[in-house]
């Protein structure tokens, strides 16, 4: 599975750890940043959200300090369902019920171990469809 991933400076360390931890499980394309220097999270959220929204890539991961700024930015894009997850149970439901296509992590409020569990769960859980399909179709404003 190919996953595109980006962060801001607050999420930089966790991004690098995730890429390294899952290097044998997923193919990552790193959209930056490439150092922990201070950056603005929208500059890194938009390219990932654009490439998932356009269908170029199916899934992304975005990480900032709280997960809120980077997730809010991604969710401005049509077809993006970016889910802020801090426990595996939330990650599972974000896939099962919301068909989330971008996993958002709050680097400053999650342990490394929980973050790895969240990533593993998110990318091994499938959308349930059915009644959830109807609800997901109502999210976007046409
Ligand atoms: C950066 O200090 C911090 O504001 C950012 O990572 C994020 O938490 C914003 O929502």
pLDDT tens digits in sequence order for the chain, 142 residues long: 999 999 999 999 999 999 999 999 999 999 999 999 999 999 999 999 999 999 999 999 999 999 999 999 999 999 999 999 999 999 999 999 999 999 999 999 999 999 999 999 999 999 999 999 999 999 999 7
pTM: 0.98
| DSSP conformation class of 136 | H
Alpha carbon distance 65, 38 (integer Å): 12
Measured in angstroms, how far is the CA atom of residue 40 from the centroid of ligand 1? Answer: 8
Alpha-carbon distances, residue 25 vs 3, 6, 75, 120 (angstroms): 10, 18, 27, 9
Is the CB of 64 inside a 6 Å radius of any atom of ligand 1? yes
Q: Which of 66, 70, 109 to mutate to test the pocket of ligand 1 (most atoms within 8 A of CB)?
A: 66
């Amino acid at each position: 599975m190919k996953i595109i991933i980006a962060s801001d400076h607050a999420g930089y360390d966790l991004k690098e750890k995730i890429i390294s931890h899952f290097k044998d499980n997923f193919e990552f394309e790193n959209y930056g940043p490439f150092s922990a220097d201070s950056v603005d999270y929208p500059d890194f959220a938009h390219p990932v959200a654009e490439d998932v929204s356009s269908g170029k890539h199916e899934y992304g991961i975005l990480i900032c300090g709280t997960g809120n700024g980077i997730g809010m930015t991604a969710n401005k894009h049509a077809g993006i369902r970016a889910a802020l997850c801090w426990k595996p149970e939330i990650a599972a439901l974000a896939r099962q019920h919301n068909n989330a296509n971008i996993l958002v992590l709050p680097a400053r409020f999650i342990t490394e171990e929980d973050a790895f569990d969240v990533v593993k769960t998110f990318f091994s859980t499938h959308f349930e469809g059915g009644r959830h399909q109807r609800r997901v179709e109502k999210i976007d404003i046409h």
